[in-house]
A and B are shown apart, each in its own frame.
Chain A
């Protein structure tokens, strides 16, 4: 994947997503929700390209359904649009439903971006020096799962060779018994293997002294700059929220604080990864046309 933000230091990535997701979950002011959803969608599309279409269509459908459903359960509000099953269906409840759905949509989009950017290796690299034992645990589990799957296929193959394999059309009970035998054999093998691994680790000095950790990612000048800009923008957003710029009440009638500089700062913060992505794409285009 060719994304400039993904190449930044994992700390920058992690802090950005914490900020984006927490703000997305808290802020319900329509302007903030709209900015959050649009920025999340832009970066999601930049990251996943054509693969973004299907999940985004599903998310949008979910949000629309949730918006339409909210007034059914919530009948407060002043402007009655129509009556459904004898209960009022109000405009305010519909807007409230839209805002809540927007919050959900924003969180889903940013989590989708998080999964693409902050992969397992970056996560363990980030926490390797703070939580050495748990990071080591995570790395070992991540390696063992494919290993176990491979071993399972070998066991199944070996059983088939001695006529113990279960066919596709075998009765469910037989399949289940076969599965249990395979899982049982796999467990024995994995547990015995784990002891060998552990003894090997000990004889190579694991636990003898404090663990040192190797960080493959370095904090570059760009990372520091991005981090500074991020923290400043976030500070502006927090100030704006504390000043009541994101205050909103939906029921019984809609009252929202006027749109101000807080939204701009929020938008700028959320667009950082997309801007980095665009800047690199542009640079590449210019340097290529220079050849």
Chain B
């Protein structure tokens, strides 16, 4: 059995139940801590799998460049929340496959917080962005995601609205020091909705304008240097 598979099995059958049990034993409301522990336990096998593959220099540098582009576009565009970052992550997933998509997303979230400051939301953001890249790669691999600008834009919009946004809303719900009941949940999700819509339109606009050209560039590099096969062709 591969080492990374063993770790994944260990995480799902031992560590996550252990975290849930620990969360029940802890005094008071430890939703945030329990959930963060589980997120970290899900992130670790991905990182270990990447380590275990002993990535080649080319793979490593291309992942680094994709992360840097995603971060630079986050820092460079002065419009709040309207950023190309998530779109760049998803395009990386589409071009280079699920694992690279996940790594680009998770590393982008981690490193961009080195620039703007780490917060209690960092692991959540890593999970949300990584999964967005992974999902894009998965849908492209299955052939469910046509490479038309409008399809990419729709995918980007709904990926943020249905996954990235809600996950970060749950994080702020767990962090907000109020009793969790139906009213407060509604309040938090409603206040997050505006940000999510802006963020989703940012991703959609980037996909619409840049999706095709950027994908073509990424594929050109892949074909020219014969690397990172694993993405859809």
Which residues of A does B touch, CB under 8 Å?
22, 25-28, 63, 66-67, 69-70, 73-74, 93, 96-97, 100-101, 103-104, 107-108, 111-112, 114-115, 120, 123, 131-134, 136-138, 140-142, 144-145, 147-149, 152, 176, 179-180, 183-184, 186-188, 190-195, 197-199, 201-202, 206-207, 241, 246-248
Contacts and interface: CB of A to CB of B under 8 A. Distances in A.
A234 to B, nearest CB: 16
B66 to A, nearest CB: 9
B202 to A, nearest CB: 12
Contacts, number: 172
A66 B188 CA distance: 13
A201 B55 CA distance: 13
A106 B181 CA distance: 24
13 contacts: A26-B30, A27-B28, A66-B177, A103-B177, A104-B175, A111-B119, A134-B107, A145-B71, A148-B72, A179-B77, A194-B58, A194-B62, A197-B57
- Interface residue range, chain B: 35 or more
Interface string B62-87: 11110111011101110000001000
Contact of B60 (A133, A142, A180, A192): A133
Chain B interface mostly: helix
B6 to A, nearest CB: 18
Contacts of B77: 179
A183 B68 CA distance: 12
Given A187-B69, A191-B65, A176 B209 contact: yes
A206 B59 CA distance: 12
B30 A66 contact: no
A66 B69 contact: no
Contacts of A107: 120, 175
Interface of B: 26-30, 32-33, 47, 50-51, 54-58, 60-65, 67-69, 71-73, 75-77, 84, 103, 107, 110-111, 114-115, 117-120, 175-179, 181, 183-184, 209-210, 213-214, 217-218, 221, 225
A120 B73 CA distance: 20
A74 B178 contact: yes
Contacts of A101: 177
Contacts of B73: 183
A128 B115 CA distance: 20
Contacts of B33: 22, 25-26
A131 B47 contact: yes
